[in-house]
């Protein structure tokens, strides 16, 4: 049986006056039915673009998916007509965006924004859609749903709005939800609530989840599998356990040092990843992480390493991946 979603060798680029931005530069990964997959990386590494590419929501111009394949339940999404992809959007694959403050339409009621998906995709009449909307608001933990339906987004707090976004995503019981940094814009205390909610709902409803984040701490608790992205490429992949306890890429290591860890003594201060993220318009044939890398060798400038196994199901794109896993353990 084929996986739910299979992305193969995907390239998405933006053609701008400053040059071609190689935002997604040949990524491949799969999502199995019902599982939670994380995509982690610094801001600007192509996470959002890779997510938007799945639903073909890349603004064109300036962007375009130039190569690759995205198979969803056996269908090639990149081959679908505009009409066909619209039936996938919101119905089979739904999205939750980063900015709850701006992702809801300020001039339409919450009710309208919830029910329009239902009437559009599921041909519900107004009463049925309203009943379902009430049910959904209740499900995502919004109190007094009857009143909320008539309210506008500015009446709601950020956390509430993100709950509404989640309710919207769940509307048509999709097979897959893509959540693009769903908690980055929220208060720390709310973040955990929202993540728990998503975890619980997707598990109960058997929905697969792609969760995008720049916070490895989030990943450890919520993801079955993790893809670490750097400069448009996946540079390490493994289970949450692999990534957290035996990282095999210097970038992942650096990321781990930048988040607080429960399983280690508290350090004086966290190290952000040193150096600047690379300019995606001027990538060369070498490894894009080498200017910031502590383990750099001559070969890194000549050839960009491919994603290759270090153990069963754990892959890394680093020439020094084997050396990395030995001495580092001792050092930490």
Partner 1 sequence: MYKYIVKRVLLMIPTLIGAAVLVFFILRLIPGDVCELRLAGSGLYADPAEIELCRTNLGLNDPIPVQFADFVWGFFILDLGDSMWTGKPITFEIGLRFQLSLQVAFMATFVAVLISIPLGTISAIKQDTWIDYVVRVFSIAGIAIPSFWLGIMIILGLLIATQKFLGTPWMPPIEYVSPLEDPLGNMAQLIWPSVATGYRYSAVATRMTRSALLEVLREDYIRTARAKGLLEKVIINRHALKNSLLPVVTVIGIEFAFLMGGLVVTEQVFNLNGLGKLFVESVLNNDYTMTQALVMIVVAVFVFTNFVVDLFYAWLDPRIRYG
3-state helix, strand, coil in the chain (%, to 5): 40, 25, 40
Q: Find the binder of ligand ADP among 4, 27, 40, 49 (CB under 6 A).
A: 49
Contact status: 212 vs partner 1 (CB under 8 A): no
Contact status: 23 vs ligand ADP (CB under 6 A): yes
Indicate the residue among 184 and 193 with the shorter CB distance to ligand ADP: 184
Near partner 1 in 110-139, by CB under 8 A:
116-117, 120-121
In the list partner 1, ligand ADP, Mg ion, none, the entry touching 294 (Cβ below 5 to 8 angstroms by class) is none
Nearest C-alpha neighbor of 4 from the set 27, 39, 28, 32: 32
Please give the sequence-ordered ranges of beta strands (E in DSSP) within the chain, or none if there are none: 5-16, 19-31, 36-40, 63-72, 75-76, 93-96, 176-180, 208-213, 225-230, 233-239, 308-311, 314-316
Report the length, in residues, of the chain: 332
Q: Find the binder of ligand ADP among 5, 31, 40, 47 (CB under 6 A).
A: 47
Rounded Cα distance, 94 and 173, in Å: 9
User: At 207, which helix (H) or strand (E)?
Assistant: none
The binding track of 238-277 with respect to ligand ADP, each residue x by CB under 6 A or -, is ----------------------------------------
Q: Give me the least distance between CB of 228 and partner 1, in Å please.
A: 25
Q: Residue 318 in contact with residue 301, Cβ under 8 Å?
A: no
Q: Give me the least distance between CB of 15 and partner 1, in Å please.
A: 14
List residues near partner 1 by CB under 8 A: 55, 57, 59, 86-91, 94-95, 97, 99, 102-108, 116-117, 120-121, 152, 154-155, 165, 168
**Contacting residues toward ligand ADP, per CB under 6 A:** 14, 16, 21, 23, 41, 43-49, 59, 62-63, 280
């Amino acid at each position: 049986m084929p996986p739910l979603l299979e992305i193969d060798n995907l390239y998405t680029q933006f053609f701008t006056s400053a040059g071609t931005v190689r935002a997604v530069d040949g990524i491949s990964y799969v999502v199995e039915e019902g599982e939670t997959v994380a995509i982690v990386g610094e801001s600007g590494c192509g996470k959002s673009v890779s997510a938007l590419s799945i639903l073909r929501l890349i603004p064109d111009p300036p962007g375009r998916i130039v190569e690759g394949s995205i198979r969803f339940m056996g269908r090639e999404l990149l081959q679908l007509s505009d009409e066909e992809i619209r039936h996938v959007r919101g119905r089979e694959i739904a999205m939750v965006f980063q900015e709850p403050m701006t992702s809801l339409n300020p001039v339409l009621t919450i009710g309208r924004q919830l029910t329009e998906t239902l009437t559009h995709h599921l041909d519900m009449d107004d009463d049925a859609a309203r009943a379902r909307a009430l049910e959904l608001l209740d499900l995502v933990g919004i109190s007094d749903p009857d009143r909320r339906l008539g309210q506008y987004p500015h009446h709601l707090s950020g956390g509430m709005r993100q709950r509404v976004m989640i309710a919207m995503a769940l509307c048509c019981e999709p097979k897959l939800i893509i959540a693009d940094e769903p908690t980055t814009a929220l208060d720390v205390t709310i973040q955990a609530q929202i993540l728990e909610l998503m975890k619980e709902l997707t598990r109960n409803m058997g929905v697969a989840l792609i969760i995008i984040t720049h916070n490895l701490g989030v990943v450890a608790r919520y993801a079955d599998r993790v893809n670490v992205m750097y400069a448009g490429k996946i540079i390490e992949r493994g289970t949450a356990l692999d990534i957290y306890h035996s990282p095999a890429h210097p970038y992942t290591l650096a990321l781990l040092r930048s988040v607080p860890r429960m399983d280690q003594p508290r350090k004086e201060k966290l190290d952000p990843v040193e150096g600047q993220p690379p300019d995606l318009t001027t990538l060369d044939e070498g490894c894009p992480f080498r200017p910031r890398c502590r383990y750099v060798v001559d070969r890194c400038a000549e050839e960009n390493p491919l994603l290759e196994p270090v153990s069963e199901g754990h892959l890394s794109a680093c020439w020094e991946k084997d050396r990395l896993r030995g001495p580092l353990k001792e050092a930490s």
